[in-house]
A and B are shown apart, each in its own frame.
Chain A
C-alpha cells in the first residue's frame, strides 16, 4: 500500500515539477509532459496490463493539477500507453542501445499523439462556443517544434537513465499492483 501511495505521490510531484518549476526554465515555456514520458517508458518495458492503471492515475494528476478538463489526459495517456505497448512488442530487440532509440522515437510520437488527442477533445468540447484556430495559424510553429523536440529528447534521456533506479525501488512492488 505504501508503495502505491509513493507511486501516486511520484506523479503528483512530477506534475508540480513540470508546471511550477521547469516551466520557467524551458524555451517558450513549453515543457515536455514528464508524467507521460514516464508512462511511455514503463509501457515499453512492462506490459499494458500492469501499466494501464498508472496511465490513468498519471493522466488524472495532470488533469487535476494542470487545471484542464478532467479526462483529457487520462484518455490520451491510456491510448498512448496501449499503442506504445503494442508497438514495443513488435519493435524492441535485445540490444539496449537500439532499444533506447526505439523507445525515444515512441516517446516523441506518443507525446505528439497525446497533444493531438487533447487538442482534438478540446476543439470538440468547445465547438459549440465557436472557438477555433484563427488567423494566427497552427498549434506548432516550426521553431517551437524543433526546440520542443530537443528538450523532449533531453528529458527522455534523463528519465530513461533514472528509470533503473525507480525500477529498483518499485521492483518488488510491480507484480503486486497489477490490476
Chain B
C-alpha cells in the first residue's frame, strides 16, 4: 500500500554481504574496540540514568505488589524471629568453628581484597552472550581479567573489555566463560562453563571424584585468574554415566544475575 517500485542493486548487496562476512569472521578486534570506545563514552550518561530509573521503577513495582502480602509476611516474620532468637545462641559456637574452617579452606573474605564497587548500567537484552556493563572503567583502575563479585565473595564474572568510564563484565553463564572450580565438600575438581544464559555446567570431573546434589562449588586457584574460595553456586544435578570419561554437573548460580545492580571488582589482594 505504501510501496514504491522496488529496485535495488543486487551487486551492492552481494558486495555488502561479502564485506560484512569478512568483518564478522575475521573479527577485527582493534578496529571494533576503537569505534566502540567512542560510542560507549557518548552512551555512558544515558545508560547510567536510564538503568537507574528502570531499576527504581522495578523496585517501586515490586514494593507495590508486595504490600498485599505484608500482613501475612509480618505474622510469618514474628514466628521466624522467635525461632531465630533461639538459634542465635548455638550460632556463636558455629561461628568459631567457621573461622577455623575458613582458614583451613582458604575461603576468600571480602576484607582481603582491594575492591571497587560499581553500579550496573546495562545488561545483555537478548541473552545470547551474558554480560553486564558497569559504571567503572579505565579511570578507576579497572583492568581486563579482574574478577567481579557480589556480597560476601560470590563470583559472578570477570572484566572483559574496559572503556573510559565503563567496563563490560562477562558473566559466568557466558558460553565463553571457563573457570577452574572445586567442590567444597568433596574436593572434586572440574571446569565450570557457561551455557548461553541458561545456567552453569561443571565439566571434566574425573569419574573417581564424588559430586553430591547441594554441594557448594568454589573457585580453585588453578590457572591463576581467580583467587581460591570465591563461591560460585551449588550442584543441582550430576550426570555420572559410567561409559563416559568425565562426570558433569549442572550448577545453580548463587545469585540471580538478572537482578544484579551493584557489584564489586577485585582490583588486587591486600
A binds B: yes
Interface residues of A (CB under 8 A from B): 12-13, 16-25, 28-31, 33, 45-50, 52, 56, 64-72, 74-75, 78, 82, 85, 88-89, 92-94, 99, 115, 118-119, 121-122, 124-126, 129, 131-137, 139, 141
Q: How far is the CB of B84 from chain A (nearest CB, A)?
A: 32
Please determine whether A139 and B3 come into contact, CB atoms closer than 8 angstroms.
no
CA distance A139 to B130 in the complex (A): 13
Partner of B51, one of A21, A64, A99: A21
- Show 13 A/B contacts (Cβ-Cβ < 8 Å), sorted by A: A19-B123, A19-B133, A20-B121, A28-B127, A29-B123, A45-B3, A49-B7, A67-B124, A70-B24, A93-B1, A115-B126, A122-B129, A125-B25
Please determine whether A18 and B125 come into contact, CB atoms closer than 8 angstroms.
yes
Q: How far is the CB of A9 from chain B (nearest CB, A)?
A: 10
Please determine whether A24 and B8 come into contact, CB atoms closer than 8 angstroms.
no
Most B C-beta atoms less than 10 A away, residue of A135, A137, A141: A135
Please determine whether B57 and A30 come into contact, CB atoms closer than 8 angstroms.
no
List the A side residues contacting B106 at CB < 8 Å: none
Partner of A70, one of B32, B54, B196: B32
Please determine whether A139 and B196 come into contact, CB atoms closer than 8 angstroms.
yes
Please determine whether B193 and A134 come into contact, CB atoms closer than 8 angstroms.
yes
Q: Does B39 reach chain A (CB closer than 8 Å)?
A: yes
Dominant secondary structure at the B interface: mixed
Query: What count of chain B residues pass the 8 Å CB interface test?
Result: 59
Q: Does B227 reach chain A (CB closer than 8 Å)?
A: no
Known: A16-B46, A122-B128, A139-B196. 11 other contacts (CB 8 A): A18-B125, A20-B133, A21-B51, A45-B3, A78-B13, A88-B3, A93-B1, A124-B25, A132-B175, A135-B248, A136-B196
Interface residues of B (CB under 8 A from A): 1-8, 13, 16-17, 20-21, 23-25, 27, 32, 35-36, 39-40, 43, 46-48, 50-51, 53-55, 57-58, 121-129, 131, 133, 161, 168, 175-176, 193, 195-196, 198-199, 201, 203, 239, 248, 250, 258
Please determine whether B126 and A16 come into contact, CB atoms closer than 8 angstroms.
no
Partner of B3, one of A47, A124, A126: A47
Q: Which residue of A lies closest to B127 (CB)?
A: A30
CA distance A28 to B201 in the complex (A): 20
Indicate whether A13 sits within 8 Å of B23 (C-beta atoms), given known contacts A19-B123, A46-B4, A135-B248.
no
